[in-house]
Amino acid sequence: MNTLTQVTLVIALILSIFLPFGAFLMGRQTRSRYKASLAVNVFFFFGTLILANVIAFTGDASSVMAAEETVASTSGGLATGLGYLAAALVTGLSCIGGGIAVASAASAALGAISEDQSILGKSLIFVGLAEGVALYGLIISFMILGQL
């Protein structure tokens, strides 16, 4: 894949993300307009990804085999790849879980603080504990990467 194709695909991905929501923000913001904007965003984003896969896999077979030999000689094989995948999953899933926990704890803390302002410190501790879930996942992913 040449440089021009790569640049074009990157620009297409960026535009597929920002153009639908930019059009949404410029007009009257209603729920149906938001759904339409999200549908257009998903269509263009995944369409661009499919197009990128088609462009990437329609090439010369000898260049693909040379690239595979280069990757095989520089990487540690299946175990290394699965290690990177495990580190990515640990970080991603722990951040999603931490985000859900912070959303629940922070909204409850704000409601409690609005009634009684003396419990600010206690509520911040619970929100901090919820954020700790993401940090634990990040630490585990560093431990996994350290073993590779």
76-92 average pLDDT score: 87
Rg (CA), the chain: 23
Question: Which residues, 6+ apart, have CB-to-CB distance to 35 below 8 Å?
Answer: none
Q: Find the domain containing 91 and state its range.
A: 72-148
pTM of the model: 0.49
How many residues are listed for the chain in this entry?
Answer: 148
* Most confident range, picked from 53-57, 62-66, 84-88: 84-88
Q: Are residues 76 and 46 in the same domain?
A: no
Q: With respect to residue 63, please indicate whether it lies within any of the assigned structural domains.
A: no
73-93 average pLDDT score: 83
SS3 113: helix
Q: What is the pLDDT of residues 14-50, one digit of tens each?
A: 877 777 777 777 777 788 888 887 888 788 878 877 8
Q: Are residues 76 and 145 in the same domain?
A: yes
CA–CA dist 40, 38 (Å, integer)? 5
Who has greater pLDDT, 55 or 138? 138
Q: Which two tokens stand for residue 144?
A: 């996994």
CATH number, domain with residue 128? 1.20.20.10
Tell me how many domains the chain contains: 2
- The answer to whether 101 touches 130, Cβ cutoff 8 Å, is yes
- The answer to whether 5 touches 37, Cβ cutoff 8 Å, is no
